[in-house]
Amino acid sequence: MSRVVGHPKHRIEDPALLRGNGRFVDDIALPDLLHVAFVRSTVAHARIIGVDVEIAKDMPGVHAVMQAKDLKPALMSLRMPLGASPSSAQNSSTPFVLSDKEVAYVGEPIAMVVAHSRYEAEDAVAAVIVDYDTLPVVTDARVGAVVGAPVVRTELASNVLNKLKVEFGDIEAAFSDAAHVFHDDLLQHRGCGHPMEGRGVLVEVRPGGNSLCVWSSTQMPHDLFHALSAMLDLDENRLRVITPDVGGGFGPKYCLYPEEFALPAAATILGRNLKWIEDRRENFLAAIQERDQYWSLDVATDADGRVLGMKGSLIHDQGAYAPKPVNLPYNSATAATGPYIVPAYSVDVSIVHTNKVPVSSVRGAGYPQAAFAMERMMDLIATELGIDRAEVRARNLIPPSKMPYTKPLKARSGAAMVYDSGDYPASQAEALAAAGWTDFPQRQAAALAEGRHIGIGMANAVKGTGRGPFESGTVRIAPSGRVSVFTGATAMGQGLATALAQICAEELGIEAEQVTVIAGDTAFSPLGLGGFASRQLVTAGSSVHIASKAVAAKAIKAASHMLDVPEEELELSGGHVRVKGNSNRGMSLAEVATRLRGAPGYAFPADVDPGLESSIQWKTDALAYANACHVVEVEVDVEVGHVTINRYVALHDSGKLINPMIVDGQIHGGIAHGIGNALFEVMGYDESGQPLTTTFAEYLLVTATELPRFETIYLETPSPMNPLGAKGVGEAGTIPAAAAIISAVEDALKPFAVRISQTPIVPETLFNLIQKGRAEMAARGEAIS
């Protein structure tokens, strides 16, 4: 029985945050600080004819107004490198640090004002005059993909960034042998990540003027470090990147951004400390968004609804640029078959630029779209064949007897896609039982008799978590006895420090509160990847676990020499190495660490290396697959199209849980995000590419009054893929949520024979679908039950 791991421990992050003593990037004060505001494109596509800064540069408090040409002396290139990639090379779709020739989305940075206050900087931004020659705009990827469509940037020959085909099995045979073929076109809308803290960059020019410390509210400090080092041609010992407290990530902070290069470049040129804090409107305009995908699918089944094959196409809206390799549609296309046995599969993927803000991952990263597509097809099969929706899924789920199950696909690493563990049918059965699936039809009939439209829906999901290739973990006990964990993983509010401290404390015989975790600081962790793909507990956790074991073993070995007691008679507890059965005899970890620090000329314990520490970079190419089943009950007010969620049951198997309290928080937050995607979050653009929703009054994030109590159930099938048996939880809650809710809403609207093939369904959309259903039924001469 573990002592620290597996228990709902209080978070070590909380006291400072609860007292208002957190240190987010805007909380850090530096001497002689200047503030930056950006001049951003007000049009979706234009050639820049000229930028007039004459009035702006003479305004009160203004220190400098800088354009691309002004930053050029400090930068190796005005074009950004490709983030999160093995090559880091720039290409014709990476964004610019500042754009001086052409802009391709509203919000693209053109110039920066440096002033004594943000207020004065914004005054001057308003006085910069940009002369635009507007160009044709593409806002719909389906239109942009057509040959002859105007290009979103004049440097491109085509808006199609890439095409790929994801396929396996004999798809032609599957369809020719099919008893039934069903078709649907699905539209999934983009949304924003919206961490409550926007992005922000702070640059300190260190004394002497030729080294920089950069704080960024990012998920990827090491990626930024290496990219900045190359772009500024700065020796690595002259650059440090730190992530301070981060007020939420949710994907948008995974990218390298123009502002993260513009500020260090300007600071270098001006020799001044600079700060830029993104405001919410900028976050709407310039932080990446995700999820616009258009799927067209055909599914072939046998007479009993067993899937024989699925084929179709997927158009992915990439926005104006691609700041990192475009993995999302690959995630979507390879994840679509989910927890089901699909013998043959073929999907043509087109990745298409549009004149909208660039697209990268938002919580779920392509998986929610995949789950939505597959689960909608499952419901379609059930509806068309008159089989219960859960039964259709049960007939197609991968049984536990086939685990581990290899999908004939490859993960990004090239490794085979192997679902390592889990019992999908049992997961579904347990979630359905908890939600009262079988007796729902009676409740539904009773409600309908009262004129209330209630519905139940479900969705399954599988998520590959713990993406490699590695994450770093160093465990060090100082001569003071203080225990520190250093990692390249990045804390962005999810409780990473607590989880890693628990893993460390378990092995060292101490409490989690006695461990300090330093995450995301390139000065302390030379190697690191960062926060993405529900990976950090699995990867950094495994490194810290192995490193902690090594430190424990080393402490015992050293103490064995020092106490002259055989190793097997020693154990760690309460910060001491003790002789088993004799708690009075032993020595503190501080004493061991002091000895292993060494002293000039004094002998060292034999066979023990200096330093009471261990550094591990646990590597993996494979993923640990978590699974989930969500069951949702809703009520629809058919007069106004309003949806109320009455009940939400979420079953998750995320392997061995390190801190069940934190896991529950991750799942709750993930579900809330998915509910937003299903019912509330609309990022509107007009035909000219102008964003229509740039405040929280227009773009609705879900609030407390719209949510039900979540009922969560956890199975803990350990993953054999890592020493902790863990699977990631950061995104799993989001992935099936929208699919389950839409399934429930459609069920509630059975009397109107409504088919829902899109997200989100805001009241107006739903109202129109209901009206359409009524009209079609009337045309067929059917009565609404």
Partner 1 sequence: MSERSIELTVNGRSYSGTADVRTTLADFLRHGLGLTGTHLGCEHGVCGACTILVDGVSARSCLMLAVQAEGSDVRTIEGLAEPNGDLHPLQTAFRDNHGLQCGFCTPGILMTLMELLDEQPDPTEADVRDAISGNICRCTGYQSIVAAAMQAAAELRKGRRA
Binding site for partner 1 (CB under 8 A): 10-11, 13-15, 17-24, 26-27, 29, 60, 119, 194-197, 245-248, 250, 279-281, 492-495, 661-662, 664-665, 668-673, 695-697, 701, 703-705, 707, 709-710
Smallest separation, CB 473 to partner 1 (Å): 22
Looking at beta carbons only, is 254 or 710 nearer to partner 1? 710
Q: Which of 508, 506, 479, 484 is nearest to 497 (CA)?
A: 484
Rounded-to-integer distance, Cα 18 and Cα 20, Å: 6
Looking at beta carbons only, is 446 or 696 nearer to partner 1? 696
Strands of 671-729, DSSP E: 710-715
User: What are the backbone angles phi and psi of residue 51, rounded to the nearest 5°?
Assistant: -125, 115
Count Cβ atoms below 10 Å from residue 410 Cβ, excluding itself: 13
Looking at beta carbons only, is 352 or 515 nearer to partner 1? 515
CA 531, 537, 539: angle at the middle one, nearest 5?
80
Smallest separation, CB 216 to partner 1 (Å): 16
Rounded-to-integer distance, Cα 672 and Cα 657, Å: 21
Q: Which of 323, 248, 207, 265 is nearest to 17 (CA)?
A: 248
Looking at beta carbons only, is 196 or 230 nearer to partner 1? 196
Looking at beta carbons only, is 101 or 696 nearer to partner 1? 696
Strands of 160-306, DSSP E: 160-168, 180-188, 191-192, 200-205, 212-216, 239-242, 273-277, 289-290, 293-301
Looking at beta carbons only, is 139 or 734 nearer to partner 1? 734
Smallest separation, CB 702 to partner 1 (Å): 8
Looking at beta carbons only, is 695 or 785 nearer to partner 1? 695
Looking at beta carbons only, is 87 or 695 nearer to partner 1? 695
Rounded-to-integer distance, Cα 513 and Cα 298, Å: 54
Smallest separation, CB 375 to partner 1 (Å): 21
CA 594 to chain centre: 42
CB of 644 closer than 8 Å to CB of 710: no
Q: Spell out the alpha helix ranges (H) of 136-179.
A: 141-144, 171-176
Q: Which of 500, 601, 184 is nearest to 372 (CA)?
A: 184
CA 681 to chain centre: 17
**CA-to-CA dists, residue 633 to 418, 431, 437, 744, 758, angstroms:** 33, 13, 10, 6, 19
Looking at beta carbons only, is 247 or 725 nearer to partner 1? 247
What is the C-alpha end-to-end distance of the chain, expressed in Å?
Answer: 57
Q: Which of 290, 277, 335 is nearest to 33 (CA)?
A: 277
Looking at beta carbons only, is 506 or 664 nearer to partner 1? 664
Distant-in-sequence contacts of 415-421, Cβ < 8 A, 24+ apart = 415/621, 415/622, 415/623, 416/622, 417/334, 417/464, 417/623, 418/622, 419/339, 419/462, 419/625, 420/622, 420/624, 420/625, 420/719, 420/720, 420/721, 421/625, 421/655, 421/717, 421/718, 421/719, 421/720
Smallest separation, CB 119 to partner 1 (Å): 7
CB of 241 closer than 8 Å to CB of 221: yes
Looking at beta carbons only, is 396 or 694 nearer to partner 1? 694
Smallest separation, CB 343 to partner 1 (Å): 38
Smallest separation, CB 197 to partner 1 (Å): 5
Count Cβ atoms below 10 Å from residue 296 Cβ, excluding itself: 17
Smallest separation, CB 705 to partner 1 (Å): 5
Smallest separation, CB 253 to partner 1 (Å): 11
Smallest separation, CB 546 to partner 1 (Å): 27
Smallest separation, CB 258 to partner 1 (Å): 21
